[in-house]
Structure 1
Amino acid sequence: MKVTLQPCGAVLDVHPDEPILSATRRLGFECPSSCRNGNCHICAALLVEGRVEQEGQAIDHGELFTCLAKPLTDCVLHWDGVLMPGELPVREMSCQVVACNSLGGDVFHLQLRAPAGKLPRYHAGQYLMLRREDGEFAAFSLASAPHNGREMDLHILARDESTRSLLAYFQAEGFVRVKMPFGDTHLAELPDGPLVLIAAGTGMAQMRSLIEHCRASGFAHPVHLYWGARNPEDFYALDVWDSWQQLDNLTLHQVVSDQCGWKGRCGLLHEAVSEDFPDLSNVHVYASGSPAMIYGTLDALVEAGMDAHQMRADVFAYAPRN
């Protein structure tokens, strides 16, 4: 039987005589339940369509308990709080501001520490939201990886007065309110093939998280990092850069778009990738940058032979193209 869950939209294949909750656990979903702790009714859901059998009775509408209910037909349930495989719950916490140091290029390293006993849960490549003084939240990529535990790192470009004021506010308060995690451009599962990571400016924060996770996980496939800036002075200091250069399966590329004649590569990021990869059919591409840069890169790489589904970027979710 097929059971469709609202509002998450997942469709479950439930085995004959299998309770719905058992099917969700078998398929890797996280669901509201606390049967083993003696808290009944936590797994309750609303039957919208279809029929189920529960404790010898047929039910065709109303509340049911997913730990007991077994579908008799295809069903639709309204069940809040269900998380898809790999999806993590969004939580809010108050984090200590440990440090705020300049990295050069008008970029600052903001280091946060989560409260003791509240280990932050996120996938490499995700981002968080920081509450500003006006109560609104601003999004920043995590430069740290999950194995860093309570310590979280951000790379924040502070060329305008509003961002500099925001950093000053965090430092003066000593704590900042955080909501996390967000974003589906992550490595909840490591791909079986080469990675091409494309970052413009502080998009490097997301790539640092991905690379450090690959490094900690023993990822064996080749990884190519392309870091772009307008001018060489815009490349800021990375604490891991020297150690990255020693990794056999990691190749680093710095690409400048507005100034040729420096020691490294010149041009656009997608031009460097296309030059190095005449065949893009087997690579997994992760990209971070402005919407214009991301969509320009996507179009260029698709024209060069890449399938559009091979490229992931958070821009696709928060700034979809019409």
Structure 2
Amino acid sequence: MFTIENQATGKVFRTEGNGPILDDALIHGLNFPYGCQKGFCGKCKATIIEGEVGYDTDVPNGITPEEVADGMALLCQCHAKSDVSLVVEELDSLADIKVKILPCKVESITHLNHDVAQIFLKIPGAESLQYFAGQYIDLIHPDFEPRAFSIANAPKNSNLIELHVRLVDGGKFTHFIFNEMKEKSLLKLEGPKGDFFFREDSKKPVILLAGGTGFAPIKSIVEHAIATNLSRQIYVYWGAREACDLYMDLPQQWANTHDNIHFVPVLSEADEAWQGKTGYVHDSVLADFEDLTGYEVYACGPPAMVKSAANTFVAQGMIKDNFFSDAFVFAYTKEK
């Protein structure tokens, strides 16, 4: 087991040296920059100050012999052969991440219930997308106006992008996606976008509030927290109309297997068989937490839900700067 230290930030993580240093850095929550992850683009270059690294094959094309002689390495390809001290500028703000327009292919389409489809998009070739958990992309098709969809998977695997698409009444693009689009269809995406993303440096307990397919970016955040072994208390509240609208059982699985993750489903139009909480999802949070002063809240879903949560949570002690939101606006510009 080797220790990797980034002298630029003082952050440290451990690796067995079996895989690329970049992979272990991302797993441990360090936002090392990267591009293709195949050794071609050179965006993951770092300067090795102390220690030894190696490559499984020849030195990749993304780094020159002169750069290697100067102590540089490609973190997406090299692995540690000893304790390593290196210097790399980590991404710590939205301004550090470049918005790209990339081709993508529909890898799979799965209907999760009567009006929500899970789409996996694959970015081909030597391209990839670096993003923060919680951000979204614009999906582009030549026959429709671009539409925004939140990324539903954690950022550790950026060659596959997961989306949760709700069939919107009168939405031409979502109707096409839900009923007509086939696997291997070619599209484009533009992103990442949005200032709704998980603040990893905080130690405050987290309340994640989702309405409908607002669960998608919440899923990304939780999966990232699990991958990075985050120990903060996480409370997931998912609001929907009926039980069938809770289209994944993942939140309960998280709660069953991780002591720091808690799940509360809430239905606004529950039938007699429902034994859980009812009403508006933000009201359930208010009932469960008498004082929200020490919490961070991430709210994603319909604008009315987000607005109500913001107003009532502040009245119950939440600090405004600890409230992060993404309101889904379906008409004209967004279909999340």
TM-score, normalised by the number of residues in structure 2? 0.65
User: Could you tell me which of 85, 89, 94 is aligned with 2:93?
Assistant: 85
Residues 132 and 166 in structure 1, CA contact (< 8 A), matched pair in contact too: no
Residues 105 and 235 in structure 1, CA contact (< 8 A), matched pair in contact too: no
1:125 aligns to what? 134
Cα distance in 1 for partners of 2:326, 2:288 equals 24
1:212 aligns to what? 223
Residues 104 and 237 in structure 1, CA contact (< 8 A), matched pair in contact too: no
Residue 308 of structure 1, CA deviation: 2.1
Residue 267 of structure 1, CA deviation: 1.5
2:293 aligns to what? 281
Q: How does 1:186-201 map to 2 (within 5 A)?
A: 186-187=197-198, 189-201=200-212
Cα distance in 1 for partners of 2:228, 2:320 equals 27
Cα distance in 2 for partners of 1:144, 1:197 equals 16
Q: Which has the higher contact order (CA 8 A, sep 6+)?
A: 2
TM-aligned CA distance change 1:240 to 1:300, over 3 Å: closer
Cα distance in 1 for partners of 2:256, 2:122 equals 28
1:4 aligns to what? none
Cα distance in 2 for partners of 1:232, 1:317 equals 23
1:19 aligns to what? none
Cα distance in 2 for partners of 1:244, 1:120 equals 29
User: Could you tell me which of 168, 175, 185 is aligned with 1:164?
Assistant: 175
In the alignment, does 2:119 pair up with 1:110?
yes
2:3 aligns to what? none
Residues 103 and 238 in structure 1, CA contact (< 8 A), matched pair in contact too: no
Deviations 1:115-158 (A, max 9, x none): 23212111000000001343521000010111123111111111
TM-score, normalised by the number of residues in structure 1? 0.68
Q: How does 1:25-36 map to 2 (within 5 A)?
A: none
Bigger shift: residues 172-181 or 232-241: 232-241
Deviations 1:257-281 (A, max 9, x none): 1226412111111211111111101
Structure 2: runs of 5 or more not aligned: 1-30, 34-41, 43-90, 332-336
Residues 143 and 153 in structure 1, CA contact (< 8 A), matched pair in contact too: yes
Secondary structure in structure 2 of the residue aligned to 1:273: helix
Secondary structure in structure 1 of the residue aligned to 2:112: strand
- For the pair shown, the structure with the greater C-alpha radius of gyration is 1
Cα distance in 2 for partners of 1:304, 1:165 equals 43
Q: How does 1:236-251 map to 2 (within 5 A)?
A: 236-238=247-249, 241-251=252-262
Q: How does 1:1-322 map to 2 (within 5 A)?
A: 85-87=93-95, 88-160=97-169, 162=172, 163-168=174-179, 170-171=181-182, 174-187=185-198, 189-238=200-249, 241-259=252-270, 261=272, 262-315=274-327
What is the aligned length? Answer: 240
Secondary structure in structure 1 of the residue aligned to 2:310: helix
Q: Could you say what the CA RMSD is over the residues aligned between the two structures, in angstroms?
A: 2.7
Deviations 1:160-187 (A, max 9, x none): 3622223455427611100010111102
Residues 109 and 118 in structure 2, CA contact (< 8 A), matched pair in contact too: yes
Residue 297 of structure 1, CA deviation: 1.3
